[in-house]
Amino acid sequence: MSNAELHTLTGAYALYALPDTERTEFERHLGDCEACALEVRELSETATRLGLAVSVSPSRELRDRVLREITTVRQVAPSNGRPTRSGAAAGRTGRWSKLALAACLAAAAGFGGVAVWQHQVAQDARQQADRAERQSEQLAQVLSAPDAKARSSVLTGGAKGTVVVSQSRNRAVFVASGMQPPPSGKVYQLWFDDDGSMRSAGLMNRAATDSTVLLDGPVDGASGMGITVEPAGGSAQPTSAPLALLTFPTA
């Protein structure tokens, strides 16, 4: 994946909508790109503020319109504070014009490469949008479920964590605020506590100090959840002492 393509994944990453391979590659990119890291933090903080608010499912017409627009509007990469309308930007515009002309000539010659590339970009965008929509819908369903119950706790370092559980949905959501970024090469991993046996429940965004996470997998008989620091990409079983253990609310 090119560096330019990585710049476009901030939204999908903040919504936990990237597949494992793309997420790992993007997290390596975050270590070198402060603009993307800042954008992820801002998106994640917004999601956290909305996490426990009243949610309204978007209409089908809005979803269809967004998916249509995805195929025609290119996401602008973070600017890093650089000028966007003069100087270097003008040079980039000129270079892109030449590249676009070359691509058109290639297509006119019968190779069809541009059309194939555009189709693949559109397909990838639709898949990311679908994954993000499913995540958002499932998260909203848990938070708005009639039987949703919440429990909060102070985490290591003074951060605050809240877990919301819906038995009817058999899912749980974790909302964190004020967490310190994990050490370099590490990631926060969430776990279901199945009577002392820990089951992976997904990873948290490395760049986000505030985050709302739909735990990966059903609650089933889990009595609580834990948070550990693991190598980038996560672990099959915890390799460090838990930063926090939260018991699921029952009443």
Cα(26)–Cα(159) distance, rounded to whole angstroms?
25
What is the residue-averaged pLDDT of the chain?
74
Q: Which segment of 38-47, 182-191, 223-232 scores lowest on mean pLDDT?
A: 38-47
Given pLDDT bands bounded at 50, 70 and 90, which one contains residue 119? very low
Cβ burial, residue 205 (10 Å; 0-12/13-18/19+): buried
Cα(43)–Cα(16) distance, rounded to whole angstroms?
12
| Residue-level pLDDT at 84 | 46
174 CB neighbour count, 10 Å cutoff? 21
Write the pLDDT tens digit of every residue in 35-88: 888 888 877 776 666 555 544 455 566 556 655 665 555 555 555 544 444 444
**Considering only CA atoms, which of 193, 169, 201 is closest in space to residue 246?**
193
Cα(79)–Cα(75) distance, rounded to whole angstroms?
12
φ and ψ at 247, to 5 degrees? -80, 135
| Residue-level pLDDT at 108 | 45
pTM: 0.55
Better-scored residue on pLDDT, 48 or 216: 216
CA 137 from chain centre, in angstroms, equals 14
| Domain regions of the chain by residue span | 3-144, 149-247
Mean per-residue pLDDT, 183-196: 91
Q: Which amino acid is at 162?
A: T
Given pLDDT bands bounded at 50, 70 and 90, which one contains residue 114? very low
Contact call for residues 93 and 100 (beta carbons, < 8 A):
no
